[in-house]
């Protein structure tokens, strides 16, 4: 089978491998940042732009959702934040001439890396498949009015509003998200799938049920005050680099850190803080204990730890359990059953390692557990996160300083989008408030999440996909199934800054609507606008771009929604869409009347640094669950069983990518350069499977539907991952993740546990 990148793609994927590194950031990070930034933006724009990232009068970094501290350094950016900015502020342009030279058939052969490197899209474009002779289909520029007419034509021709899907990726501002969900509900559907469905949905499901609020319960200050921080299933050195400063600060105040991960991630080993001279030289060792767990073993680990805590005299916070929790007895009975041998099998850890972790937990008065995709993307993800909550409840470690749950979010406003009502299963109270404010009747039936949206397209139950940002085709699982489903659509629309796979695999008609990014100046009829975002810790603040937009034809996301709503809903809508487009303060006024916690929004967000949203468990130890208490839960312990001759593959991020946006072909900390088609395998497993380092293999995923999904041509890299496990990059491996391999309850694709077989070339 082919080992080559897609035909016609000049980018060569030829990975080179060196030993992994043991420290993150430092000088190489700054050098690499400036190189990428200057390639995209030139020297002057690099300086002007990077100085405004995350400053109180600047724009919110489009990188990740990690919060900004109160005292900001002049260059409050990190390597990967700077790359995200450079990617958006690039001087390269994708004009109508580009599309004339690259028909759809050509775009479809290009890698995501190549597509993204072409630059910012400058004009609205339309493609009608089959309108031109075979192979000649291409996007052509159209006026904005025509684009909205087409959307109206297609949406209004549907048999039911539920045949339309309105997807959101997590960069969308609060203002745009609020308008987008309002439009979808006035149109008549709750089909509002979002990237969260593939990301922290499992965290939201688990936290809502157990503590009553689907968000983290700690602030940055809490992290600084914690005396034990457990980082499970997360790689902050690459994906949340500014978190390393917080860990360093906690550490310098005496905190201990445990990391739970199948991979030894460089950022957790040693952090060389680029903001301090000593940090640059020596750095700080972060991990006190590294638990190299087998993929999917976390629920078993936490269950055993919980049993041991319960069995240690005086180790549980009895007063807290009595006053604030529900279900302790049932949980304690279930925890009693936890078994050492089974836990050692599930986790691949040793008894002394788990005993050390226990001793550190027992010695801690203020424990925080942080996690990300390593916990959320498994079949038993929700049960795993509930088990983490059980530990914190046993220790009374919620709702007091320095302690709590910390799901570290991905996209910079993914949490805010959810707060604004981007959710396919909205709470009735939210819809009631929306209906009162706008005198509408929102639909009550639940809509489709991401996986169900793909199934609906596949089955002909959905016909229009409108995506507010993101890369629906590239980010979702089961690439071949998903691409076929998308081609079934009558219309696909993408509001985008840059090209990606979703523009190359389309419905019968396809629109690209080019939009402003975070770094761009946004001027409307009432003057210069700002937007707002919510970070991972519930802080809401403003973001204003300062760059001249990539082209005079770009519209902001709120303007696109407002104009689409007028075209689609016409006189049937009494909502003042035109006013909203003119002045975003008018949108914020409405948000303040619909969404609790946003009272007096315009005034409060004007304060430098913004404001914090209320969080009942954190603020008042109040748990708005069905029982009115924090719930212990006792799901049966699960862990993946892998047949002989197979490994469990996790699909993860390299250091040079932002989800499906590929910045470069290097994964510096893991020692891999010049290519992405690599599979990391433990040397002992590799020896058993006959996989020599440097040899090539196809990856075949085995699933109960009997379909063999294949990703060809991966270079084997012997790597110190846990036994029985393998790792390869997303999105190249999405083809291996079966559409119906999802987490119980949250329906999140189980992209961190794919059973694979190797077929050496």
Ligand X SMILES: Nc1nc2c(c(=O)[nH]1)N[C@H]1C(S)=C(S)[C@@H](COP(=O)(O)OP(=O)(O)OC[C@H]3O[C@@H](n4cnc5c(=O)[nH]c(N)nc54)[C@H](O)[C@@H]3O)O[C@H]1N2
Of the candidate spans 440-448, 495-503, 702-710, 712-720, the one that interacts with ligand X by CB under 6 A turns out to be 495-503
Q: Are 301 and 343 in contact (CB under 8 A)?
A: yes
Q: Are 761 and 695 in contact (CB under 8 A)?
A: yes
Residue 406 binding target from Mo ion, ligand X, none, CB below 5 to 8 Å by type: none
Q: Is residue 396 a contact point for Mo ion (CB under 5 A)?
A: no
- Kindly give, in sequence order, each residue whose CB lies less than 8 Å from that of residue 432, ignoring residues fewer than 6 positions away: none
Residues 170 to 199 in contact with ligand X, rule: CB under 6 A: 170-171, 195, 198-199
Of the candidate spans 11-19, 409-417, 446-454, 575-583, the one that interacts with Mo ion by CB under 5 A turns out to be 409-417
Q: For the chain, what is the total number of helices (H) and then of strands (E)?
A: 31, 33
SS3 of 280-297: HHCCEECCCEEECCCCCC
Phi, psi for 642 (deg, rounded to 5): -115, 125
DSSP character at residue 547: B
Quick one: which of 86, 229, 295, 662 contacts ligand X (CB under 6 A)? 295
Q: Is residue 426 a contact point for Mo ion (CB under 5 A)?
A: no
Q: Is residue 422 a contact point for Mo ion (CB under 5 A)?
A: no
- The size of the interface with ligand X (CB under 6 A), counted in residues, is 61
Residue 657 binding target from Mo ion, ligand X, none, CB below 5 to 8 Å by type: ligand X
Reported as half-sphere exposure (CB side, CA atoms, 13 A), residue 442 has a value of 28
Cα(409)–Cα(403) distance, integer angstroms: 18
Q: Is residue 650 a contact point for ligand X (CB under 6 A)?
A: yes
Q: Is residue 411 a contact point for ligand X (CB under 6 A)?
A: yes
Element (H, E) at 33: helix 27-50
Of the candidate spans 314-322, 356-364, 368-376, 588-596, the one that interacts with ligand X by CB under 6 A turns out to be 368-376
Nearer to ligand X, 5 or 469 (CB): 469
Nearer to Mo ion, 407 or 410 (CB): 410
Cα(667)–Cα(659) distance, integer angstroms: 14
Q: Are 296 and 278 in contact (CB under 8 A)?
A: no
Nearer to ligand X, 453 or 631 (CB): 453
Q: Is residue 235 a contact point for ligand X (CB under 6 A)?
A: yes
Quick one: which of 296, 426, 549, 724 contacts ligand X (CB under 6 A)? 296
Of the candidate spans 43-51, 143-151, 182-190, 514-522, the one that interacts with ligand X by CB under 6 A turns out to be 514-522
Q: Are 129 and 506 in contact (CB under 8 A)?
A: yes
Quick one: which of 260, 308, 349, 711 contacts ligand X (CB under 6 A)? 260
Residue 475 binding target from ligand X, Mo ion, none, CB below 5 to 8 Å by type: ligand X
Cα(555)–Cα(124) distance, integer angstroms: 10
Calculate the CA 361 to chain-centre distance: 29
Of the candidate spans 89-97, 348-356, 403-411, 617-625, the one that interacts with Mo ion by CB under 5 A turns out to be 403-411
Quick one: which of 188, 233, 274, 724 contacts ligand X (CB under 6 A)? 233
Count of beta carbons in the 10 Å neighbourhood of residue 191: 28
Nearer to ligand X, 332 or 373 (CB): 373
Q: Is residue 234 a contact point for ligand X (CB under 6 A)?
A: yes
Nearer to ligand X, 119 or 470 (CB): 470
Residue 123 binding target from Mo ion, ligand X, none, CB below 5 to 8 Å by type: none
Cα(588)–Cα(571) distance, integer angstroms: 23
Q: What angle do CA 213, 455, 295 make, to 5 degrees?
A: 55
What are the tokens at 429?
């109270």
Nearer to ligand X, 202 or 631 (CB): 202
Element (H, E) at 579: helix 577-582
Nearer to Mo ion, 199 or 565 (CB): 199
Q: Is residue 542 a contact point for ligand X (CB under 6 A)?
A: no
Per-residue CA distances from 360 to 305, 318, 397, 706 (Å): 11, 20, 14, 45
Quick one: which of 204, 296, 410, 549 contacts Mo ion (CB under 5 A)? 410
Residue 349 in 3-state DSSP?
A: coil
Quick one: which of 737, 739, 750, 756 contacts ligand X (CB under 6 A)? 737
Binding mask 46-75 for ligand X (x = CB under 6 A): -----------------xx-----------
Residue 239 binding target from ligand X, Mo ion, none, CB below 5 to 8 Å by type: ligand X
Q: What is the chain's alpha carbon radius of gyration, rounded to the nearest angstrom?
A: 25
Per-residue CA distances from 476 to 10, 469, 492 (Å): 25, 14, 15
Q: Is residue 470 a contact point for ligand X (CB under 6 A)?
A: yes
Strands 120-121 and 93-94: parallel
What are the tokens at 179?
């308008």
Residue 513 in 3-state DSSP?
A: strand
Of the candidate spans 25-33, 123-131, 419-427, 469-477, the one that interacts with ligand X by CB under 6 A turns out to be 469-477
Count of beta carbons in the 10 Å neighbourhood of residue 342: 15
Residue 653 binding target from ligand X, Mo ion, none, CB below 5 to 8 Å by type: ligand X
Work out how close the CB of 505 gets to ligand X at its nearest, in angstroms, rounded to a whole number: 13
DSSP character at residue 102: S
Count of beta carbons in the 10 Å neighbourhood of residue 74: 9
What are the tokens at 258?
């445990």
Residues 189 to 248 in contact with Mo ion, rule: CB under 5 A: 199
Contact residues for Mo ion, defined by CB under 5 A: 199, 410
Contact residues for ligand X, defined by CB under 6 A: 63-64, 80, 169-171, 195, 198-199, 232-235, 238-240, 260-263, 265, 293, 295-296, 298, 372-374, 377, 410-411, 468-472, 475, 495-498, 500, 515, 517-518, 557, 650-653, 657-661, 730, 733-734, 737, 751-752
């Amino acid at each position: 089978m082919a080992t080559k990148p897609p035909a016609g793609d000049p980018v060569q994927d030829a990975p080179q491998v060196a030993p992994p590194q043991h420290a993150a950031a430092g000088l190489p990070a700054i050098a690499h940042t400036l190189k990428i930034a200057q390639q995209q933006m030139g020297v002057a724009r690099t300086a002007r732009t990077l100085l405004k990232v995350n400053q109180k009068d600047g724009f919110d970094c489009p990188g990740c959702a990690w919060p900004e501290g109160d005292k900001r350094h002049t260059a409050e950016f990190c390597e990967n934040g700077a790359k995200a900015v450079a990617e958006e502020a690039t001087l390269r342009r994708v004009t109508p001439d580009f599309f004339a030279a690259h028909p759809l058939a050509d775009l479809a052969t290009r890698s995501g890396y190549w597509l993204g490197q072409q630059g910012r899209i400058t004009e609205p474009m339309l493609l009608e498949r089959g309108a031109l002779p075979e192979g000649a289909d291409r996007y052509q520029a159209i006026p904005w009015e025509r684009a909205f007419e087409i959307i109206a034509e297609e949406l209004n021709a549907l048999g039911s509003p539920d045949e339309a899907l309105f997807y959101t990726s997590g960069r969308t501002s609060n203002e745009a998200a609020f308008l987008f969900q309002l439009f979808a509900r006035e149109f008549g559907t709750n089909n509002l799938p979002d990237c969260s469905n593939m990301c922290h949905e499992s965290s939201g499901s688990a936290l809502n049920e157990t503590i009553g609020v689907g968000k983290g319960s700690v602030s940055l200050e809490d992290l600084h005050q914690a005396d034990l921080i457990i980082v499970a299933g997360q790689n902050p050195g690459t994906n949340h680099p500014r978190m390393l400063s917080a860990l360093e600060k906690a550490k310098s105040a005496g905190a201990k850190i445990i990391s739970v991960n199948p991979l030894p991630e460089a950022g957790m080993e040693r952090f060389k803080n680029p903001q301090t001279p000593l940090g640059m030289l020596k750095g700080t060792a972060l991990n006190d204990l590294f638990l190299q767990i087998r993929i999917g073993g976390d629920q078993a680990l936490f269950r055993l730890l919980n049993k041991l805590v319960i069995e240690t005299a005086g180790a549980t916070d009895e007063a807290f359990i009595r006053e604030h929790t529900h279900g302790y007895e049932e949980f304690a009975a279930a925890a009693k059953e936890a078994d050492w041998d089974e836990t050692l099998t599930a986790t691949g850890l040793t008894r002394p390692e788990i005993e050390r972790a226990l001793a550190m937990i027992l010695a801690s008065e203020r424990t925080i557990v942080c996690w990300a995709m390593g916990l959320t993307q498994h079949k038993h993800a929700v049960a795993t996160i509930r088990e983490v909550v059980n530990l914190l409840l046993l220790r009374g470690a919620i709702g007091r300083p320095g302690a709590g749950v910390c799901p570290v979010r991905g996209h910079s406003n993914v949490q805010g989008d959810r707060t604004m009502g981007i959710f396919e299963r909205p709470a009735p109270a939210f819809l009631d408030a929306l209906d009162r404010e706008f005198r509408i009747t929102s639909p009550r039936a639940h809509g489709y999440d991401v996986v169900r949206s793909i199934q609906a397209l596949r089955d002909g139950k959905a016909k229009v996909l409108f995506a507010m940002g993101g890369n629906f085709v590239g980010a979702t699982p089961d690439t071949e199934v998903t691409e076929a489903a998308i081609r079934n659509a009558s219309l696909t629309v993408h509001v985008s800054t840059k090209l990606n796979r979703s523009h190359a695999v389309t419905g019968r008609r396809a629109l690209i609507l080019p939009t402003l990014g975070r770094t761009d100046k946004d001027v409307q009829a009432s003057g210069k606008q700002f937007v707002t975002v919510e970070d991972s810790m519930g802080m809401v603040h403003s973001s204003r771009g300062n760059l001249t937009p990539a082209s005079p034809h770009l519209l902001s996301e709120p303007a696109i929604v407002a104009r689409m709503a007028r075209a689609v809903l016409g006189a049937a809508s009494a909502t003042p869409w035109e006013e909203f487009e003119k002045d975003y303060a008018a949108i914020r006024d409405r948000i303040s009347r619909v969404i609790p916690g946003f009272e007096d929004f315009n005034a409060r967000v004007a304060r430098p640094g913004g404001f914090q949203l209320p969080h009942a468990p954190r603020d008042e130890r109040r748990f708005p669950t069905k029982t009115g208490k924090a719930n212990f839960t006792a799901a049966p312990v699960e862990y993946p069983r892998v047949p002989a001759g197979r490994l469990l593959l996790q699909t993860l991020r390299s250091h040079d990518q932002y989800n499906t946006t590929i910045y470069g072909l290097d994964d510096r900390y893991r020692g891999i350069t010049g290519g992405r088609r690599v599979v990391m395998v433990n040397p002992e497993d590799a020896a058993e499977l006959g996989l020599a380092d440097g040899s090539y293999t196809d990856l075949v995923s085995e699933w109960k539907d009997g379909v063999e999904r294949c990703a060809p041509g991966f270079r084997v890299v012997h790597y110190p991952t846990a036994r029985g496990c393998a790792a390869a990059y997303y999105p190249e491996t999405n083809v291996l993740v079966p559409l119906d391999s999802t987490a119980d309850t949250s329906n999140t694709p189980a992209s961190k546990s794919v059973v694979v077989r190797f077929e050496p070339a």
